[in-house]
Amino acid sequence: MDLTSPPAYLPHQRGPLHDLPDTPQAYDAVLTDVTEQALRRLTPQGNLEHPDCVDDIGDTSLGITSLLALAWQRTKDPRLPDAVHRSLTFHLRERVYRDDNPGYPNLRVRGSGLPYARYTLAAGAHPVGDWPSTVWALLQAVNVLDTADGLVPDERRAELLEVARGYWSWLTEATFFNPQEAGNQAIGCVVGGLMLARHLAPEDGEPVRARALALYSDEIRAHRVRDRGALLPPEHGGAYDNNYGPISLSFLAQAHRVSGEEVFAEDGEALARYLDARLTGGGFDNGGPRYSEQHSAFESVLGLRYFGARIGADLGRYRGDSRWARHAVKADGGVDGHFAWMLVWQIQDTTRWHREPSTGPARHQLRAGTVSVAFDDRMTPAVVEAAGTYYLPAAVNRQHGFGPVTDGFLLCRPMGEVRVRDARADGLRAKLVTKPVVGRDHVLRSVRSLYVTDGTTLWTTVAVERLDGTPYLLAGLPYAEDDGDRVRRTAHGAVSSPGGLRLTHPEAEGAEHFDARTELTQQQAAFALAADPRGYGNPDEGWRHLVSSTALEAGPLPDAPDDLHVFAVRHGTEEPLTVAVEWAEEGLTVRTDAFTAVLGPDDAHAEPTLTLRAAVRG
């Protein structure tokens, strides 16, 4: 095991998406660059595909065509009509398939003759990707139809419209709908139907629109998955994926833009609030049933910008992959047409970024300044951020989380209702989480976790009925830290504790023992532990097989009340920390040099009470 190599950068967590200029002039510069690349690449046959493109290829030439059509609409560049006409002819002649792809498993009708797009051009090669590739081809087609008036001959436009209708029929009649259980693909298909309907005569368009809305209601919305109090479109079998979730948000934004149906606004706002709560202040996120740490970029801009403005949250802090900042690219930096419709839509949309954090308290997040805590569904911290360092839940004896540990047993899994109380005072924000937990001794105990921040550091105080043995607080796995516009791996964090603090590392080796001193990323370890290959396996499920990890462990306060074990840590500084905890008439009182908090008795609804006061400084 190499413990001496320098920390590696996380490959996909880069700059916040709202740092990209999004003025009309900036987008015109992007389109100019795309135009020049495309005109140099255009083959005599009219092909605009990147020479290195193999997978996700069936829609890419048409995607570049749609960008050229938009550029012509904005600039009237005289070179573009011929390029659009030739490339559109190429797609219609060479990239529209009507014979069933050998091995495709999701057909409902054999030999339909309906057009579809292939994920990979070779017959029988990875045919399972044909459904999303056909969704993408439909979206590229309707974008060309939106911008092609006066640009291509009427007969060519009519041919494209007929192919687009065929794509829709193949997706909704010849195959099972949404065969990969991928919310982003399914909502994208609905968007394609809504946009297609606008190009058809009313007697043809209204049934397509109605079918699209029904598919959303019956096949997507009815199967939403609950996580952290929100109902979310399922993504590859899970509630949310930090790569595909924001892409779904963009599709919901476009669905609302083109249809005006309030259901898309409601569901988009719910997803946006969920994302705002799970996302750290610095924009770091991880987790999902498909790509554990892979972030989208331009594909997410429309949704984050559109719904960030609607809910009043700075969703643009989401760290995207700046290599795909404007459009898809290959390894050499050359433009690829994949997902080109997202660039078209964000250029057409005039919403501006909302850059201020949301002001209301959120159950699953505590955030102020440069400090944030994102809580999971059980109100255990999923990510702690302080002083530019990100901490994940640590693992001990196959148990993951933040909380007291006694005799190797982690007390953080609730056995009953979890109560939450928020408080603010003089620049401080606090959250009290009360959980009933059961240990190996079958005794029900109440774990009270108090989180307080001044926007620079985070104080965590945990109190639980007295435990046997020599308990300690599992206080996180230091995992990554900000480094300019990038995020890099780390094995250190600025943390202090009055009860004594130690940073431990697994003694055993192997993927199930995560040592933060190595360059291995959480995503790599999660896929190594997943049941299926990367891209198909569920990294969240794989990560749950983690046995042990690097961990911060804090000892109990030496002068806590006799009936309690109390633990305290402060993330964000290594300065010595003093915490006093005592019973008082009004409840359990926690005092530091920055605040006094009183964990009072339950109110009439059995909810805990919390009083917070900033310390008086002389």
Query: What span, in angstroms and rounded, lies between the C-alpha atoms of 451 and 445?
Result: 19
Answer yes or no: are the C-beta atoms of 615 and 595 closer than 8 Å. Answer: yes
Answer yes or no: are the C-beta atoms of 378 and 414 closer than 8 Å. Answer: yes
Tokens of 144: 């060309």
Q: Is 249 helix (H, G, I), strand (E, B) or coil?
A: helix
Q: Quote the pLDDT of residue 535.
A: 78
Query: What span, in angstroms and rounded, lies between the C-alpha atoms of 175 and 109?
Result: 7
**Number of other CB atoms surrounding residue 210 within 10 Å:** 12
Q: Quote the pLDDT of residue 7.
A: 63
Question: Residue 532: which residues within 8 A CB-CB, separation 6 or more?
Answer: 538
Give ∠ CA 130-131-133 in degrees, rounded to 5: 60
Answer yes or no: are the C-beta atoms of 320 and 276 closer than 8 Å. Answer: no
Q: Quote the pLDDT of residue 237.
A: 82
pLDDT per position as a tens digit, 553-605? 999 999 999 999 999 999 999 999 999 999 999 999 999 999 999 999 999 99
Find the largest Cα–Cα distance for the chain: 86
pLDDT per position as a tens digit, 280-321? 999 999 999 998 999 999 999 999 999 999 999 999 999 999
Query: What span, in angstroms and rounded, lies between the C-alpha atoms of 109 and 1?
Result: 53
Which residues of the chain fall below pLDDT 50? 1-2, 4-5
Q: Which one-letter DSSP state was computed for residue 360?
A: S
Q: Quote the pLDDT of residue 6.
A: 53
Q: Quote the pLDDT of residue 616.
A: 78
Q: Are strands 389-392 and 428-438 parallel, antiparallel or unpaired?
A: unpaired
Q: Quote the pLDDT of residue 536.
A: 83
Q: Quote the pLDDT of residue 414.
A: 97
Long-range contacts of 93-97 (CB under 8 A, 24+ apart): 94/45, 94/47, 95/58, 95/59, 95/61, 95/62, 95/137, 96/163
Tokens of 48: 């605009």
